[in-house]
Amino acid sequence: MINKKIAFLIPCYNEAQTIGKVVADCKKAIPEADVYVYDNNSSDGTDEIARKAGAIVRYEYQQGKGNVIRRMFREINADCYIMLDGDDTNPPEFAPQMAELVLTKNVDMVVGDRLSSTYFEENKRPFHNFGNSIVKKLINLLFKSDIKDIMTGYRAFSYQFVKTFPVISKGFEIETEMTIHSVAQNLNVENVVTDYRDRPDGSESKLNTYSDGLKVLKTIFRLFKNYRPLLFFMIVSIILALISIILFIPILSKFLKTGLVPNFPTLIVSGFIFMAALISLFAGIILDVQVEKGRQDFEYRLQEVNFQKNIMEKINEKTN
């Protein structure tokens, strides 16, 4: 990792109780790394504590973790980025292993896997445990992936990932968006098993189990539609076609027996539903072509970002 710039990214909102320790642990784990703390309208002095601990403190005034990550990704240039939460639940001693995968194995995103280690023993919020398991199984099923921890905030990224990732989500659903984006765009993703420790007494989670959980499910639904439109609209088409057939069969049966169509309005409804099924199918086919074109454009964007990075490195070498 010599001559490679590594940056710790710590989004924070009212983490005065733990942020000092987190910054110190990051500096101990990778002494040569820059530690950035992005304060998101904290009212408890989180920023001053982080600054005294040696962090570079910056601010994002739009509330929400997704907004903070958008700001961090825009402003910071590094060869490897390590993101973790400011609540002292993610031990930074795993950061060197994660950074090595990015810097030597060309991994685009390393996922800090809590669920395969101490998460279910340490975490005292049973609905969080249940939600994490459901989300992991759902995404791996829909996107044919093998990501071990979907909603972890402990991740490492390459420069190419950070500069090409389109941040859409505003809140805690950002980790879900990162995961689906990586899988859908065929990026190189690895899992590293990390320890998890629950928040210390007096430190409160900002994640609302129900409202944020609903946002995560809505994000999965939206991204499934956007990244795999053919499958999504094919499912919709099959459901509509089945409803149409269920409505049509009794009418056909009576017609074959009597030669009459007694439920003409139902026949019309059945026909319109079947038309909607066909429209849905063709919409999926058209959108799938657009998604394929988007993947090609994304590959060109990756090449462009890599070229820009190489130019910047050559300029820095000459100036130094």
6-227 folds as Spore Coat Polysaccharide Biosynthesis Protein SpsA; Chain A (3.90.550)
Q: Can you tell me the mean pLDDT for 25-44?
A: 96
Q: What is the pTM of this model?
A: 0.85
Domain ranges in the chain?
6-227, 229-319
Per-residue pLDDT tens digits for 92-134: 999 999 999 999 999 999 999 998 887 777 666 666 667 778 8
Print the SS3 string covering the chain.
Answer: CCCCCEEEEEEECCCCCCHHHHHHHHHHHCCCCEEEEEECCCCCCHHHHHHHCCCEEEECCCCCHHHHHHHHHHHCCCCEEEECCCCCCCCHHHHHHHHHHHHHHCCCEEEEECCCCCHHHHCCCHHHHHHHHHHHHHHHHHHCCCCCCCCCCCEEEEHHHHHHCCCCCCCCCHHHHHHHHHHHCCCCEEEEECCCCCCCCCCCCCCCCCHHHHHHHHHHHHHHHHHCHHHHHHHHHHHHHHHHHHHHHHHHHHHHHHCCCCCHHHHHHHHHHHHHHHHHHHHHHHHHHHHHHHHHHHHHHHHHHHHHHHHHHHHHHHHC
Q: How confident is the model at residue 185 (pLDDT cuts 50, 70, 90)?
A: very high
Average of pLDDT values for 257-281? Answer: 92
The encoded tokens of residue 263 equal 């439920």
Q: List pLDDT tens digits, range 141-169.
A: 999 898 999 989 999 999 999 999 999 99
pLDDT exceeds cutoff 80 at 199:
no
Mean pLDDT of 159-185: 93
Question: How high is the pLDDT of residue 32?
Answer: 95
The pLDDT tens digits for 203-250 are: 666 666 677 778 888 999 999 999 999 999 999 999 999 999 999 999
Residue 228 near residue 145 (C-beta atoms within 8 A): no
